[in-house]
Structure 1
Amino acid sequence: MKWFDNTSLTLVIIGAVNWLLIGIFRFDLVAFLFGNMSWLSRIIYTIVGLCGLYLISLYGRIGSMQE
């Protein structure tokens, strides 16, 4: 399961960098690479969002490791 955690974290970091680019430069990297709201870009946005939701479980796992 560690590989899934690492993959999810990597995708969420890429998503965060994309939001940084949008916020500072109004440049959407995903839309630039895959088309504005094309089916492929929507899949990428969905996967990044699902990984973000999955990583919420990281809070519980970190808490249980400290005990």
Structure 2
Amino acid sequence: MWNKIALVLVIIGALNWGCVALFATDVVGFIFGGTYSVFSRIIFGLVGLAGIFLIPTLFSNKNVY
């Protein structure tokens, strides 16, 4: 279950970075009151932690999903 939650957060982060690159729009910041708002920073922090959490899956041979 934790792997799926982490994967969803990482996908949200990836889509947000794609929007920043293609449209110069920070969607998470737009939704949560600005790039530097407390809520946006919490979401960005959770996305970062999810990425760190998923690093071991790169080196795992078993299917985690």
Q: TM-score range by the shorter chain?
A: 0.7 to 0.9
> Given residue 37 of structure 2, which amino acid in structure 1 is its aligned partner?
S
Deviations 1:9-65 (A, max 9, x none): 011001100000000000100110011211110000000000001110102223xx3
> Tell me, which stretches of 5 or more residues in structure 1 are unaligned?
none
Match 2:6 to one of 2, 8, 12: 8
Partners of 1:18 and 1:60 in 2: CA distance: 26
Partners of 1:14 and 1:39 in 2: CA distance: 18
> Tell me, which stretches of 5 or more residues in structure 2 are unaligned?
none
Q: Aligned-pair RMSD on alpha carbons?
A: 1.4
Q: Tell me if 1:49 matches 2:56.
A: no
The sequence identity of aligned pairs, in percent, is 42
Matched residue SS, 1:57: helix
The normalised TM-score by structure 1 is: 0.85
Bigger helix share? 1
Give 4+ residue runs of structure 1 displaced > 2 Å after superposition: none
Structure of larger gyration radius: 1
Q: Tell me if 1:22 matches 2:20.
A: yes
